[in-house]
Each structure stands twice: as structure tokens, then as C-alpha cells.
Structure 1
Amino acid sequence: MLNPAKIDKARDWIGRAGTLAGAAALTASLYTSQALALSTPWIIGAAGLGVLSIRPWRKDTPGAVTALYLAPTGLLLAEMTVFHAINGVHWQEAVAAMIWAGGTWWARPSRVAVLMMKPPAAEKAALAPRTTSPEDRLVEFWAKAVGCEGGAGEGTRLERAEVNGPHEFRAEIVARQGIAVPDISITKLSALTNIPTEMISIGPVPGCGAGRKHLTVSSGQTAATDMYALWATQVAPKAMPGSVIRNIRHGSTKTGELA
């Protein structure tokens, strides 16, 4: 694959070389009438190849770009024709030749034309493929479909999201400062996400107030290992209302050692 930076550099060198060759042809036309006849085919050929590189037949190539690309060539041939028509060498002709050479070298119309065809940085960013993570997409979905005005969890957002699969993720539902997380309908979440209601659970976050709740979406096998969600949804409501698990320590029932 061709490197765009190398292509631009090659265009620069070719443009500079073309400017020097045009200046040489223009200078020669001051002294000999043969310069115009000998140089015209080469000048037109070089300009034609240059224009082909911007593909002017495409709809997305503005006419102004093509005109700008051809401007140095048109001015060069026009000056050479005038020099050919006027007998003798005049200082005005030398000045005109220097203006063409210096102006083309400094302004670089062909370079400007190429830059006009390139999309701005903001447009490039918009066209670039998104590389967001599953966690970012989950947070974005919640903000647009659930936490939005009129949504099932209006005014809430997700934090500390962890995604392990389409139906395997967890996060913390957070409300605005000083406001409790509203009662979010699991049925509505199920309809929005097309996930069975039995796989969705919402419960308190250990050590936190009502402004933060724990969301777990998981299959039965994974849910069974999530003791926080299991306690909040299956044990506490029936056996110990209001209780939460704050810490879990693992150990061996044979040795009595705790991790």
C-alpha cells in the first residue's frame, strides 16, 4: 500500500521541478522564437498528467480545484506566446518571467488544489471507524435508551461497567448528586435489551447509599457466582430485608484457613 506521506513528498518534488523547467522555458522564450514551439507539447503533457492525478471527472472534484491545478500552465503558455509575438528583449518581459517563477514557487497552486480535496480533520475523525470498547457502548446505550428523559432510569448513568458477552455484563447505576436511583423496571429493561427478565437483577451496592445501585445481567451459572447480586435479589428480600454483603472472604472448610 502506498504511503500518503511519500506520495505528497513526490508531488512536491515534481511540482518544484516543473516550476524550474517552466522558468527555464520562459527565459529561453525571451531570446529565441523556437522555445514556444519546442516547449508547448512538453508543458501541456506534463500539465495533463498532473490533472489526471486529481481525477477531474469525479463528481467530488470541484471545478475550482482543476482550474487551480491548470493555472500555472495557462499563465506560462500565455506569457511565452506574448514573448514570441514581441520582437526583441524587454525588461518588462524579464520582470513578468520572474513574477511567474517566484509566484508559482511560493504559492504552489497545485499543492493548494490537492489540499482542497482533502477532508478537514474533523471530517476525517467522523469518517474514521469507531474503536469503542463493549463497556463504552454499554454506557452509551444506557445514556440514550434508559437514562434519557422519559427513560426507565431517567437521570441515571452507568459506571464501572464490565462486559463479558452479549448477556454477561455488570455495572453500577448512578443517579445525580443527592438523588436516589429510581425504581427501574426490569420488565422495561428486558424489552429494551431483548434479554430475559430472569437474567437481569438490580440491587444495592455494598457500602453505598441509595444514589448507586448494582446492575447485573447474567446467565444462571454466572449469576450463582455473583454473591452480591444473589444475596440482594434472592436472599435479602425474603430472609433478611435491608441486609447487604459488604465483604466476602474465601477459605477452606477442611483447614479453616481464610484467604
Structure 2
Amino acid sequence: MLHSTGILKQVGDDSTAHTKNSEIFLDENPHGDLTQIMFTHGLVSYAQLGEYFGSYGLREPQGPTHVPFTFAHGQPANTVWNVSHQDPKRKRTFMRSMTAMGSVAPVCGLYDFSWMAEALPYEDSKRVLLVDIGGGNGHAVRAICASGIPFHRCVLQDLDVVISEVAEAKDLSGLHLVSIDMHKEQPVKGALVYYIRYCLHNYGDDAVVNILKLITEAMSLDSKLLIAEQVISNPPSAHAAALDLLMLNVGGKERTRDAWARVISAAGLAIINIWSSAGGPHAVIECVKRLPE
């Protein structure tokens, strides 16, 4: 089957060789890691969706526990992230897969971050310029800072287990590393920009509104919130529908423009622009704090 589909190449009568399609599955290839995540977080859960909905009813998972992924792994009362991080290899695979996401949905290109570097001379020297919420291994903050933003004016936030690994790598000198739970108070107040990339689609609407409210409370009136996510069409493309089904497994979902508008408004924010690619779902939603009426 692998020969016939071109994943592997037959050499002679009884030998096999790699192709470009198979080499991505070699150890520590981010694109292969992303495919592996699709299996562990997708197919394993899909196989038990019938049993899951039989137990919980035909409704969206309310998360962060009792979701198809944790149900399929025999730990329904645990969170997706706790289950994922129990296996060190699976945790490393997930972290590397986020690098591959950067090529699927590049950090830069849709939104022009250069204005932040241009604002440097006019901002208080103690003000944080960028807070990357749930920023993983820092792949996004690296890309953003390439526009001329110094690391020492930026903060990378994630779970303690992730931040510990980033600190050990010692390759983001000057960057402030902060362990957080994004479901609790945002510790950095009044930053110029808060940035959250492909985190909110992991959660249902109630959790997303809560996360956004906590960010809103930390924002100044001139702060901006940039949400990098998919904004899918209605009806969705086959690709968007497949990703929506994948996110269902972890208790999340992809959202349309109207769905994003609802959760953003409920958190006390206003959308000032949606920067998107022609014909693609990847977007950056630019928000500001809504003034009291």
C-alpha cells in the first residue's frame, strides 16, 4: 500500500527506500510530528465518538475535562493537557508540531507588526510591548520580534511545564518567561499588545469568553489584542470541517466570523479589523477594549 500510494519507493524486487513523503515521519521532523498529533488527538478519539456521545449525550463537550480525547484515553476526568503531558515523548512531539504549524499558518504576513517597533521611542521604557499568551516554545514571538522588537520588552506565557522546557533551552535570551494558567488572572497589566495564537479553538464558548475577559481586564485603553485563529466560512470547506471535528476531540471548535464576534463582544472587546488571506481561513482578529456605554 505504501509503495502504491507513493509514500515509499520500491527498489528492485524486495527493497524499499524513502521518498520526500515518507521522510517527514523520521524522528524529530516537525511536519511528521504534526501528522502524529493528528493521529493521537484525532483518530484515536474518533474511534470512540459513538461511545462518548452515548455516555454524555448529543451536545458539544463542555471541557476542559470529559472530552472525547480524555474519554478515549481512559481518563475522562482529567484535562487534555495533563493527559498529553504524562508521556514525555508525546509532549515533545506536540511542542515540535507547533513549529510545523508556523509554516501552515505563518505568524507574519497577514498582520504588520512593524508598527510596534516604530512605537518604541514613544512608549514608556518599562512598558511591556508584547505578551504572547500560550506561546509554547516561542516560535511566534521570535517571528514577531524579527521586525525590530527587543526580546527584553516581551513576555512569553504558557503552562509551567512548557516554560520550564523553554528556560532549559536558553535560546531566547532576554525574553521574560512567565508560567500562567490562562483561565486565571492575567498577571501582565497594560501591555501594548496581547497576542494569542491557536489557543482559543481548544475551548468551548464559555471558557473562551472567560479567557478573553481576563485579558480585557489587564488591558489599557490603548492596548490591542491580536487573536490568530481560523475564521471559517458558513458552510465550511471540507478542510475546515475536518479541523473542526479534530478540535471537538479536545473540547474546542473552529468559529465563523459571527461566532468570533459573539465571544469577543461578550468579553468586553470590540473588533476593529480582521486580517485574512485571500481564500484561506487563517486570520488575525484585531481587538480593542470596548468603552463603557
Larger Rg: 1
- Normalising by structure 2, report the TM-score: 0.18
Q: Which has the higher contact order (CA 8 A, sep 6+)?
A: 2
More strand by share: 2
More helix by share: 1
